[in-house]
Amino acid sequence: MLNSRFANGWPNGDLEAAGVLVHNWDDMDHHDAPWDLCPSRMWCRSFRSRVSVSLINKRQPHLFNPSVGGFVVAPAQLLPTRRSISCLWAYDAGTMGMGEGGCQGNGQCSSPRSSFCWWASDQLAEMMEQQEAQGGTRPYNELILNGAHWRARLPAIIEGVFYPRGSPGRSPEIHRRFMQQFALSEGEVPLLELDLANGDAPFRVTPSASL
């Protein structure tokens, strides 16, 4: 299912048909339980209101950090998108330094030629078209999700834990903790190796006990 979505993703308004949604772990996540976002006691607590994810597919296989693991996000849990998605960026816009929940810049885009602008939650196809038109100068896109929506949809909003090919890092341990926290099985939330060089089948299920 994931591999089909990745291989066949294309610019359109359907999140599931567009590709695969992923969240790379970063310094704004809870280190031991990154599904819980930033703890209220940490410096990043002001960013708990938002979550950054990227939409990847064979045409645009670009991650925020390809050397770090993360979560595969369930598109069905983002419906309706007007409640879950604050805005869409076709590139890295440095949203960490922005107000307005990461949706600032020059405002809403009016065309693919608009600069330093964001798209509304119902303009996924337009965002993807702008990303393809820019030719990879700022390769990965950024979807700003509502942090409260993310927390309310746990654990179902996470459909897998991934790690880059050959580098499991802390992904197996986070996977085990996530399953334990929410009483889930590997069949419900798999551990996945991600090989972006394999455009037709980049995701491979890996039993956590084997790592």
pLDDT in tens, 151-207: 999 999 999 999 999 999 999 999 999 999 999 999 999 999 999 999 999 999 998
Domain that holds residue 106: 2-210
Confidence of residue 137 (pLDDT cuts 50, 70, 90): low
Query: What is the reported pLDDT for 27?
Result: 80
Does 50 have pLDDT greater than 70? yes
How many domains does the chain divide into?
A: 1
Pairwise CA distance, residues 6 & 16, whole Å: 9
- Residue 38: per-residue pLDDT: 78
For 151-181, give the DSSP string: HHTTTTTEEEEEEETT--TTHHHHHHHHHHH
CA distance 51 to 76: 16
Residue 129 has pLDDT above 90, yes or no: yes
pLDDT tens digits, 81-115: 999 999 999 998 877 766 667 898 889 999 988 88
